[in-house]
């Protein structure tokens, strides 16, 4: 990911190590090694931690090394291009939100998605993020309709992939998308952890407009009698402190409405207007641990 490459080239706007898109600030900021190749700040820190003889060998195998104990600088040209792209995307989303709100006020979007708690305006944004006009949303599971237990959710979702998890808590609406299906472990008391495309989103209560956020590539699924790391039935995220947990509290309650979720400040884009805790984490459910009013799972078809 050399700094001299065309910054506007889409293929150069993601880290070659984790494949996650760069951001202009935070953990995914592009940083440039002495050889000129760039990687996100998170992956650079990982390279520094794993460096042998206090030396970073470039993953591109270019032969140029970087001392592990120096501050790796930001790739400013690339970050500027990313910042411009982020601003353009915020403008597009604000325009879409304005149009969707106008349509809603004219009663053109009053009908909700069939069997879903989402209104048409919220569905517009989920649809855009998932796949645009080529997809539609179908409700698979609602805790208030189908039952709150893990078994209820598994029965309704089955092996369907492209899952949108929607969580409601008071006036807040947010959740996560996973590209894959829920892949159960071979043993009922075990857990299965695997990589797939994952991202978070907020539809109401946290930003001025519905917002899609950086995700990760990890999902943890418990067996029907097991837990993920002894704390929940489902974990959607990448690291232990960045998971969206469903069926929390050791999984003993077997209630998918029991959740745990906190987003570190570096992962929060734009202007956040929701609740934060003493560690500056964004608390989408008003507290780190909370009981959701509704948990819903949709699929994009």
Query: Following DSSP, what letter does each residue of 111-139 receive, concatenated?
Result: SPSTT-SS-HHHHHHHHHHHTGGG--EEE
What's the pLDDT tens digit per position in 74-95?
999 998 888 888 888 877 777 7
In 10 A of CB 71, how many CB atoms?
6
Q: Using an 8 Å Cβ cutoff, are 35 and 62 in contact?
A: yes
pLDDT at 6: 36
Q: Is the pTM of this model over 0.75?
A: no
Angle, CA 117 vertex, CA 277 and CA 101 arms, to 5°: 80
Q: Using an 8 Å Cβ cutoff, are 230 and 240 in contact?
A: no
Three-state SS for 108?
A: coil
pLDDT above 50 (res 277): yes
* Confidence band for 284, pLDDT divided at 50, 70 and 90: very high
- Tell me the sheet residues that pair with 164: 177, 298
**Mean pLDDT, rounded, for 41-61:** 90
pLDDT above 60 (res 2): no
pLDDT at 264: 83
Measured between alpha carbons, how far is 280 from 82 in angstroms, rounded to an integer? 25
Domain ranges of the chain: 1-110, 112-300
What's the pLDDT tens digit per position in 252-265?
568 999 999 988 88
* Confidence band for 241, pLDDT divided at 50, 70 and 90: low
Domain 1-110 fold is Herpes Virus-1 (3.30.40)
* Confidence band for 109, pLDDT divided at 50, 70 and 90: very low
């Amino acid at each position: 990911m050399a700094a001299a490459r065309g910054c506007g080239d889409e293929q150069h706007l993601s880290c070659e190590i984790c494949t996650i898109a760069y951001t202009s600030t935070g953990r995914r900021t592009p940083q440039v090694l002495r050889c000129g190749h760039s990687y996100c700040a998170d992956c650079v820190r990982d390279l520094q931690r794993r460096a042998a003889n206090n030396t970073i060998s470039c993953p591109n195998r270019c032969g140029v090394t970087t001392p592990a104990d120096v501050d790796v600088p930001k790739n400013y040209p690339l970050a500027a291009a990313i910042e411009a792209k982020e601003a353009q995307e915020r403008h597009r989303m604000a325009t879409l939100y304005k149009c969707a709100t106008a349509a809603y006020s004219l009663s053109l979007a009053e009908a909700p998605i069939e069997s879903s708690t989402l209104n048409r305006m919220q569905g517009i944004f989920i649809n855009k993020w998932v796949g645009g006009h080529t997809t539609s949303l179908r409700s698979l599971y609602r805790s208030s309709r189908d039952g709150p237990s893990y078994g209820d959710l598994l029965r309704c979702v089955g092996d369907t992939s492209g899952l949108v998890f929607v969580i409601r808590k008071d006036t807040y609406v947010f959740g996560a998308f996973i590209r894959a299906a829920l892949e159960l472990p071979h043993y009922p008391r075990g857990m299965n952890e695997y990589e797939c495309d994952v991202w978070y989103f907020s539809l109401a209560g946290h930003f001025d407009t519905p917002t899609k956020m950086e995700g990760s590539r990890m999902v943890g699924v418990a067996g029907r009698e097991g837990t993920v790391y002894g704390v929940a039935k489902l974990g959607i995220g990448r690291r232990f402190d960045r998971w969206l947990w469903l069926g929390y509290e050791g999984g003993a309650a077997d209630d998918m409405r029991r959740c745990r979720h906190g987003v570190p400040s570096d992962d929060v884009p734009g202007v956040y207007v929701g609740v934060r805790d003493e560690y500056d984490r964004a608390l989408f459910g008003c507290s780190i641990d909370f009981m959701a009013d509704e948990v819903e799972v949709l699929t994009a078809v």
